[in-house]
């Protein structure tokens, strides 16, 4: 099924309303044509100065057609736009549902500018399907049939000739647009996406560009993208102008043909003289209706590209298998058996046969050098990355559980948690909708943030700013921890939540994390080895494999990676504490904490 047809199929709920809108639009266009024809007859008949009563019916018809044209056009716009925008709302909802299904890893296939163009301009273009394609063509065809049928009744020869010219207009004008603008339109949307991506990249990286003196090159790249889009836009305008000029030429040809055929008929007495103006002006009115077809044809080519790009988002969600296959049962722990996983485009496995287990109420730690696969394991457990092997939670394979259902049971706190531009309470209630203020304060207490929140004038109703800019890094992470605790997930995964914090703040937050998860089933992924004594088991990953596992005491009795780096971090911590006790003015460089 083509993307355009799929888009039209998705609007099945609005088709009846669109059919009514098309019929009303036909009546509006028919009133416009009848208004001009009746006016022509009225003026021609009035030239003979007949009794006034002879013209009264025509005068009333002129008023009726004038009012009908305005009223029917208003109703057609009202019904058509109502149906189109309701269909557009459904399309936006389905797109965001598809994006949710492939988030976060599936988004890597789209750049930010490209995704912005798809969700913005391409979605807005979808509204052209009913309003600028279906309705104009339906009205044009119906009005053409009605007008030509009347002309055939009035003067068969004129009806046939004008019918041929109208048929030529219905095919030639859209063909000219397609021939001239199709290639430009196919490149216009990607060009706009590239322009948006370049603009977003330049804005987000503006401090670095200014510091490195590369702002000139960034602006030159923006101008280059903008020039390409401008050239393609001019090609579109040329196509519209060419098609519109062709339509005007055919309109003039139709009027001349009508006069050439009608004048001899009037002379021969085969056509009443008052009908000469009617025969000449009806093609003029008809081509005013057909004048919308070039724009409609251009909208179709634009829509075809937009529908294909939107279909790629839907197809990506289907490929990622987001539909739930089973409903998870009661939480009985997690068993990971020989799991292998590879990132898209990678040459080797990020996980090369990992096996771990955790029972309800246990806390385990996943440690190891950078790049060992710790965060990849968290991604697999959240259902964000396909895997081979066994990963059973709540009695079912993770791959067999729908994303929403899985993440109702498993919660994740990452290195940099997103904080929304709203109040503290609203940010926390995202973890569990409908939470009471008492439950929010309890979560803040567990995250050791309650004392600070009580010092704020508005308490939990305090606005935190965009991305939590009014909070420090440690406060942002504590707020994210409180949200995770409030969500009450069966399994909590903490993926290096202290990574981007200074050493003192990170150590304080580590203690908070360990105490807050004391009674919860938790997986702590970290490179900081101080404080892991209270965990039930520790797994050491290296190159995607478990190279050590056991309790803290068991691992410290050996000479493996954990024992070596744990002693090194302890020594560095002792040295840092010693330096802090030195008199002011004496400084010693302290190496950073070992990360393996």
Q: Kindly list the domain boundaries of the chain, sorted by start residue.
A: 3-314, 328-409+514-596, 412-488
Domains 3-314 and 412-488 belong to one CATH topology: no
How many residues in the chain? 596
pLDDT in tens, 220-268: 888 888 888 888 878 778 877 888 888 889 989 999 999 999 999 988 8
What pLDDT, on a 0 to 100 scale, did the predictor assign at position 527? 85
Helices 135-154 and 276-290, interaxial angle, to 10°?
Answer: 170
What pLDDT, on a 0 to 100 scale, did the predictor assign at position 539? 95
Contacts 24+ apart (CB under 8 A), 432-436: 432/486, 432/487, 432/488, 435/486
Q: Angle CA(183)–CA(185)–CA(188) in degrees, nearest 5?
A: 115
Tell me how crowded residue 175 is: count the other CB atoms within 10 A of its CB.
13
Task: Kindly tell me the burial class for residue 469, based on how many C-beta atoms sit within 10 Å of its own C-beta (0-12, 13-18, 19 or more).
Answer: exposed
- Answer yes or no: are the C-beta atoms of 261 and 157 closer than 8 Å: yes
User: Alpha carbon of 492 to those of 202, 389, 408, 592: distances in Å?
Assistant: 37, 22, 11, 29
Spatial separation of the C-alpha atoms in residues 544 and 371, rounded to whole Å: 8
The DSSP 8-state label assigned to residue 535 in this structure reads S
The dihedrals phi and psi of 588, each to the nearest 5 degrees, come to -135, 135
The DSSP 8-state label assigned to residue 14 in this structure reads G
- Answer yes or no: are the C-beta atoms of 430 and 407 closer than 8 Å: no
Spatial separation of the C-alpha atoms in residues 507 and 518, rounded to whole Å: 17
Residues 6+ apart with CB under 8 A from 21: 75, 76, 79, 80, 83, 130, 135
What pLDDT, on a 0 to 100 scale, did the predictor assign at position 236? 76
CB burial of 80-97 (b: ≥16 within 10 Å; e: otherwise) equals beebbeebbeebeeebee
Domain 412-488, CATH among 2.40.70.10, 1.10.3720.10, 2.40.50.100, 3.40.50.300: 3.40.50.300
What pLDDT, on a 0 to 100 scale, did the predictor assign at position 589? 53
Q: Angle CA(179)–CA(88)–CA(175) in degrees, nearest 5?
A: 10
CA 210 to chain centre: 31
What is the chain's Cα-based Rg?
A: 36
Spatial separation of the C-alpha atoms in residues 70 and 31, rounded to whole Å: 9
Spatial separation of the C-alpha atoms in residues 201 and 90, rounded to whole Å: 30
What pLDDT, on a 0 to 100 scale, did the predictor assign at position 508? 78
CA 103 to chain centre: 12
Please name which of 217, 194, 191 lies closest in space to residue 206, comparing C-alpha atoms: 217
CA 429 to chain centre: 24
Give the architecture (CATH level 2) of 328-409+514-596. Answer: 3-Layer(aba) Sandwich (3.40)
DSSP bridge partners of 81? none
Q: Characterize the bridge pairing of strands 388-393 and 363-367.
A: unpaired
DSSP bridge partners of 523? 364, 493
Tell me how crowded residue 439 is: count the other CB atoms within 10 A of its CB.
17
Q: Characterize the bridge pairing of strands 334-341 and 351-358.
A: antiparallel
- Answer yes or no: are the C-beta atoms of 331 and 502 closer than 8 Å: no
Spatial separation of the C-alpha atoms in residues 400 and 322, rounded to whole Å: 9
Q: Please state the pTM of the whole predicted model.
A: 0.64
Task: Kindly tell me the burial class for residue 580, based on how many C-beta atoms sit within 10 Å of its own C-beta (0-12, 13-18, 19 or more).
Answer: exposed
CA 542 to chain centre: 38
What pLDDT, on a 0 to 100 scale, did the predictor assign at position 20? 92
Q: Which residues of the chain have pLDDT under 70?
A: 1, 104-106, 108, 112-113, 182-186, 189, 316-326, 500, 584-596
Both tokens of 397, joined, read 């394979």
What pLDDT, on a 0 to 100 scale, did the predictor assign at position 153? 92
Residues 6+ apart with CB under 8 A from 103: 384
The DSSP 8-state label assigned to residue 54 in this structure reads H
DSSP bridge partners of 335? 357, 392
Spatial separation of the C-alpha atoms in residues 556 and 550, rounded to whole Å: 10
Spatial separation of the C-alpha atoms in residues 394 and 443, rounded to whole Å: 25
Which CATH class, in words, describes the domain spanning 3-314? Answer: mainly alpha
Please name which of 373, 407, 393 lies closest in space to residue 525, comparing C-alpha atoms: 373
The sign of the dihedral angle between the CA atoms of 111, 112, 114, 119 is positive
């Amino acid at each position: 099924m083509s993307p355009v047809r799929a888009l039209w199929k998705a609007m099945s709920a609005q088709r009846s309303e669109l059919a009514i809108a098309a019929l009303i639009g036909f009546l509006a266009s028919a009133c416009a044509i009848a208004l001009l024809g009746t006016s022509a007859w009225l003026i021609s008949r009035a030239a003979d100065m007949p009794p006034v009563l002879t013209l009264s019916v025509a005068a009333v018809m002129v008023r009726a057609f004038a009012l009908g044209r305005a009223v029917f056009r208003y109703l057609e716009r009202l019904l058509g736009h109502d149906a189109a925008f309701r269909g557009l709302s459904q399309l936006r909802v389905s797109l965001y549902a598809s994006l949710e299904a492939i988030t976060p890893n599936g988004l890597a296939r789209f750049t930010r500018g490209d995704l912005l163009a798809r969700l913005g301009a391409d979605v807005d273009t979808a509204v052209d399907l009913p309003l600028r394609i279906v309705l104009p063509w339906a009205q044009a065809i119906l009005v053409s049939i009605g007008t030509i049928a009347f002309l055939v009744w009035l003067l068969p020869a004129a009806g046939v000739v004008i019918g041929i010219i109208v048929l030529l207009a219905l095919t030639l004008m859209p063909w000219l647009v397609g021939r001239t603008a199709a290639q430009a339109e196919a490149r216009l949307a990607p060009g706009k996406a590239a322009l948006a991506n370049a603009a977003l990249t330049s804005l987000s990286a503006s401090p670095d560009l200014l510091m490195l003196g590369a702002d000139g090159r960034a602006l030159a790249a923006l101008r280059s993208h903008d020039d390409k889009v401008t050239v393609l836009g001019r090609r579109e305008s040329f196509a519209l102008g060419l098609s519109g000029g062709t339509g005007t030429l055919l309109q003039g040809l139709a009027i001349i043909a009508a006069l050439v055929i009608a004048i001899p008929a009037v002379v021969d007495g085969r056509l009443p003289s008052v009908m000469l103006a009617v025969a000449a002006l009806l093609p003029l009115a008809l081509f005013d209706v057909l004048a919308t077809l070039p724009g409609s044809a251009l909208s179709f080519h634009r829509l075809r590209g937009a529908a294909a790009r939107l279909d790629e988002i839907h197809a990506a969600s289907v490929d990622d298998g987001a539909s739930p296959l089973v409903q998870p049962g009661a939480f009985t722990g997690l068993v990971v058996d020989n799991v292998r996983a590879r990132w898209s485009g990678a040459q080797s496995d990020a996980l090369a046969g990992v096996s771990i287990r955790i029972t309800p109420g246990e806390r385990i730690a996943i440690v190891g050098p950078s790049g060992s696969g710790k965060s990849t394991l968290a991604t697999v457990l959240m259902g964000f990355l396909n895997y081979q092997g066994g990963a059973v939670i709540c009695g079912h394979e993770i791959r067999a559980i729908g994303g929403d259902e899985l993440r109702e049971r498993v919660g994740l706190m990452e290195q940099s948690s997103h904080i929304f531009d709203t109040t503290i309470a609203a940010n926390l209630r995202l973890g569990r909708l409908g939470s009471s203020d008492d439950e929010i304060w309890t979560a803040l207490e567990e995250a050791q943030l309650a004392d600070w929140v009580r010092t704020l004038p508005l308490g939990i109703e305090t606005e935190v700013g965009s991305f939590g800019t009014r909070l420090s890094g440690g406060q942002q992470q504590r707020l994210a921890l409180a949200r995770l605790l409030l969500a009450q997930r069966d399994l909590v995964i903490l993926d290096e939540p202290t990574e981007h914090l200074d050493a003192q703040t990170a150590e304080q937050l580590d203690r908070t994390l360990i105490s807050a998860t004391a009674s919860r089933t938790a997986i702590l992924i970290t490179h900081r080895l101080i404080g892991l004594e209270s965990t039930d088991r520790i797994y050491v990953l290296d190159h995607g494999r478990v190279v050590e596992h056991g309790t803290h005491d068991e691992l410290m009795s050996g000479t493996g990676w954990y024992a070596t780096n744990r002693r090194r971090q302890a020594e560095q911590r002792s040295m840092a504490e010693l330096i802090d006790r030195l008199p002011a003015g004496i400084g010693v460089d302290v190496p950073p904490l070992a990360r393996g």
